[in-house]
Amino acid sequence: MNLILGGGIAGISAAYHLQKNGKAYKLCEKNHSWGGLCDNFTISGFLFDYFVHLSFTTNDCVKELFSQSTPFYTHNPLAYNYYKGKWIKHPAQNNLSPLSTDEKIRIIQDFINKPVSNPQNYEEWLLVQFGDYFTNNFPSAYTRKYWTANAKDLGLDWVGERFSLPELSDILRGAFEEQADNFYYAKEMRYPVKGGYKAFLNKMADQIDISVNKEAVLIDTDNKQVEFSDGTKEYYTRLVSSVPLPELVKLIKDCPASILDAGKELTATSGQLVSIGFNRPDIPQYLWAYIYDEDIFPARVYSPSLKSKHNAPEGKSSLQFETYCSKYSPKKCNGDGLTSHIIEKGERMNLFVQKDIDVIDYREVKYANVVFDHKRQKAVSVIHTYLQNLGINYIGRFGEWDYLWSDQSLLSGMDIINYK
Ligand SMILES: Cc1cc2nc3c(=O)[nH]c(=O)nc-3n(C[C@H](O)[C@H](O)[C@H](O)COP(=O)(O)OP(=O)(O)OC[C@H]3O[C@@H](n4cnc5c(N)ncnc54)[C@H](O)[C@@H]3O)c2cc1C
């Protein structure tokens, strides 16, 4: 029997595809509901996903599974940037027109004089793409907030196609006049009409059994048995895990100290989410926005009610602020402190006024993003080799310990049918 740990999109996909291939499985999720990072929560009729979550997959198989799951909206990926009191269309380098002449000159001069060297870390890569001034004020500042690390401390093995890289003519045009074109790297963003992002998983989830409230607490690889927090035990012929690697190695009975140490070398960001429901419909202006100013703690804000009007009761609207921390950058404040901070800064950013707030919620997510620091590759390789030798298959964002979007996590779970 295939025993799958973790009922996020990767574990659900593994179960669904094993079942389709006639293989026995049991899928165990520690939380009271399935979905992992794709799950959501509801407060007084406001539905909030965990973090922004929109689908821009280009994979036909995933598109098919998602579209068979639910009707969906297709959004234009029109994002904004908040920088020193100004709202700038995203990507900022193509839309400099709201900036002062002095800043435009600095950005364009430095773009023309950007270094041509072979970058060895993320900061050097940014400098080669954008030049000094833009790098220091935009992506490097954002990196400290979103990735909780300095750009020079990150490697390059995650950058891929996640950036729009501008031509000088695009920068000049965007500095003179407002641009109608959208230079975002994805051309459309899909989102379920009802049920939050999780509804995209319905086609798979409806056809499988998911055991919730079932947290694996011990893995005995000699006896091929997993113990759960409710005292039950399950035997397996194959173990498939989407549990974050640093947690997984701690569950394995007699795991060598060198492997546990490799687990400690891995860093992920945790998210602090402040979700706000408003008692009027017209609060959100932007589907999502990046916030560069470092005296404002959240890195991003997005609108659940613009993703779907069904995410808020009739006549109301919502925003969710994402703030990140990690061992490199501990929490700046607790829940109450962050909530007050966001109310103050949200008013200053002209996003809302306090009297329009209907409900406000604070919660934390322990594993949000894998941090691509210089220790990651070696530590991941040590742990993956150990798991392969034990015959444990690892899937998903935190099993592969990679920057996987939901479609890639789904495909990672689906891949299990190709393994022996
Ligand atoms: C800030 C942010 C924004 C994102 N935005 C997007 C987006 O716009 N579009 C997109 O496509 N993707 C987005 N993603 C990525 C997407 O969320 C992930 O790729 C995907 O949800 C990961 O799924 P997973 O199943 O691999 O991991 P998870 O969702 O983390 O699932 C792992 C599951 O394992 C369970 N578990 C852990 N320990 C145990 C245990 N001991 N026993 C049993 N169960 C256990 C957990 O509770 C969890 O449910 C975003 C992610 C973040 C953090």
Identify the band that residue 179 occupies on the pLDDT scale cut at 50, 70 and 90.
Answer: confident
Per-residue pLDDT at 165: 74
Q: Is 98 in the pocket of ligand 1 (CB under 6 A)?
A: no
Angle of the 257-265 helix axis to the 376-390 helix axis, nearest 10: 140
Q: What is the CATH number of the domain that holds 280?
A: 3.90.660.20
Q: Is 323 in the pocket of ligand 1 (CB under 6 A)?
A: no
Q: Is residue 391 part of a domain?
A: yes
Q: What is the CATH number of the domain that holds 29?
A: 3.50.50.60
Ligand 1, pocket-test mutation among 204, 372, 397, 410, most atoms within 8 A of CB: 397
Identify the band that residue 46 occupies on the pLDDT scale cut at 50, 70 and 90.
Answer: very high
The SS3 assignment for 254 reads coil
Q: Is residue 260 part of a domain?
A: yes
Can you tell me the mean pLDDT for 346-371? 98
Instruction: Give the Å distance between the CA of 6 and the centre of ligand 1.
Output: 9
What residues make up the domain containing 13? 2-39+195-265+374-418
Q: Is 131 in the pocket of ligand 1 (CB under 6 A)?
A: no
d(C-alpha 389, C-alpha 86), whole Å: 54
Cis amide leading into 77 (omega within 30): no
Per-residue pLDDT at 187: 79
Query: What beta strand segments (E) does 197-315 contain?
Result: 216-220, 225-228, 233-235, 238-241, 270-278, 288-291, 300-302
Per-residue pLDDT at 13: 98
Ligand 1, pocket-test mutation among 39, 57, 189, 242, most atoms within 8 A of CB: 242
Per-residue pLDDT at 78: 86
Instruction: Give the Å distance between the CA of 397 and the centre of ligand 1.
Output: 6
Instruction: Give the Å distance between the CA of 162 and the centre of ligand 1.
Output: 19
On the question of pLDDT at 387 being above 90, the answer is yes
At 217-239, the pLDDT tens digits run 999 999 999 999 999 999 999 99
Per-residue pLDDT at 402: 96
Kindly state whether residues 199 and 110 are assigned to the same domain. Answer: no
Kindly state whether residues 391 and 256 are assigned to the same domain. Answer: yes
Q: Is 81 in the pocket of ligand 1 (CB under 6 A)?
A: no
Going by their DSSP bridges, the two strands 2-5 and 238-241 should be labelled as parallel
Can you tell me the mean pLDDT for 53-67? 97
Instruction: Give the Å distance between the CA of 30 and the centre of ligand 1.
Output: 13
Q: What is the mean pLDDT of the chain?
A: 95
Kindly state whether residues 256 and 379 are assigned to the same domain. Answer: yes
Q: Is 403 in the pocket of ligand 1 (CB under 6 A)?
A: no
**pLDDT above 70 coverage of the chain, percent:** 97
Kindly state whether residues 397 and 348 are assigned to the same domain. Answer: no
Kindly state whether residues 315 and 281 are assigned to the same domain. Answer: yes
* 298-319 per-residue burial string, b: 16 or more CB within 10 A, e: under 16: bbbbbbbbbbbbbbbbeebbbb
CA distances from 412 to 15, 31, 91, 350, 397 (A): 12, 21, 30, 41, 8
Instruction: Give the Å distance between the CA of 241 and the centre of ligand 1.
Output: 12
Identify the band that residue 186 occupies on the pLDDT scale cut at 50, 70 and 90.
Answer: confident
Kindly state whether residues 325 and 240 are assigned to the same domain. Answer: no
Kindly state whether residues 309 and 286 are assigned to the same domain. Answer: yes
At 79-90, the pLDDT tens digits run 999 999 999 999
Kindly state whether residues 98 and 171 are assigned to the same domain. Answer: yes
- pTM for the structure as a whole: 0.96
On the question of pLDDT at 184 being above 80, the answer is no
Q: Is residue 60 part of a domain?
A: no
Contacts with 56 (C-beta within 8 Å, 6 or more apart), sequence order = 77, 186, 187, 188, 189, 190, 405
At 98-134, the pLDDT tens digits run 999 999 999 999 999 998 888 999 999 999 999 999 9
Q: Is 242 in the pocket of ligand 1 (CB under 6 A)?
A: yes
Residue 62 phi, psi (nearest 5):
-70, -45
Identify the band that residue 47 occupies on the pLDDT scale cut at 50, 70 and 90.
Answer: very high
Can you tell me the mean pLDDT for 14-31? 97
108-116's contacts with Cβ under 8 Å and 24+ in sequence apart are 108/168, 108/171, 108/172, 108/175, 109/133, 110/134, 111/168, 111/171, 112/168
* 82-97 per-residue burial string, b: 16 or more CB within 10 A, e: under 16: bbeeeebbbbbbbbbe
Q: Is residue 69 part of a domain?
A: no
Per-residue pLDDT at 182: 67
Q: Is 31 in the pocket of ligand 1 (CB under 6 A)?
A: yes
Per-residue pLDDT at 157: 86
Instruction: Give the Å distance between the CA of 51 and the centre of ligand 1.
Output: 11
232-238's contacts with Cβ under 8 Å and 24+ in sequence apart are 234/1, 234/3, 234/26, 234/28, 235/1, 235/3, 236/1, 236/2, 236/3, 237/1, 237/2, 238/1, 238/2, 238/3, 238/391, 238/393
Can you tell me the mean pLDDT for 364-383? 97
Q: Is residue 46 part of a domain?
A: no
Count how many domains the chain has: 3
**pLDDT above 90 coverage of the chain, percent:** 92
Q: Is 30 in the pocket of ligand 1 (CB under 6 A)?
A: yes
Q: Is 4 in the pocket of ligand 1 (CB under 6 A)?
A: no
Instruction: Give the Å distance between the CA of 419 and the centre of ligand 1.
Output: 22
On the question of pLDDT at 384 being above 90, the answer is yes
CA distances from 361 to 1, 223, 244, 338, 400 (A): 41, 44, 26, 11, 31
Kindly state whether residues 386 and 250 are assigned to the same domain. Answer: yes
On the question of pLDDT at 161 being above 90, the answer is no
Q: Is residue 65 part of a domain?
A: no
On the question of pLDDT at 262 being above 90, the answer is yes
d(C-alpha 1, C-alpha 218), whole Å: 18
Q: Whose CA is nearest to atom 45 of ligand 1?
A: 6
At 269-328, the pLDDT tens digits run 999 999 999 999 999 999 999 999 999 999 999 999 999 999 999 999 999 999 999 999
Kindly state whether residues 136 and 166 are assigned to the same domain. Answer: yes
Kindly state whether residues 88 and 154 are assigned to the same domain. Answer: yes
Q: Is residue 326 part of a domain?
A: yes
Q: Is 9 in the pocket of ligand 1 (CB under 6 A)?
A: yes
Instruction: Give the Å distance between the CA of 38 and the centre of ligand 1.
Output: 6
Give the rounded distance of the alpha carbon of 212 from its chain centre.
23
Ligand 1, pocket-test mutation among 41, 54, 372, 406, most atoms within 8 A of CB: 406
Instruction: Give the Å distance between the CA of 407 and the centre of ligand 1.
Output: 11
Q: Is residue 57 part of a domain?
A: no
Per-residue pLDDT at 116: 86
Instruction: Give the Å distance between the CA of 125 and the centre of ligand 1.
Output: 28
Kindly state whether residues 164 and 283 are assigned to the same domain. Answer: no
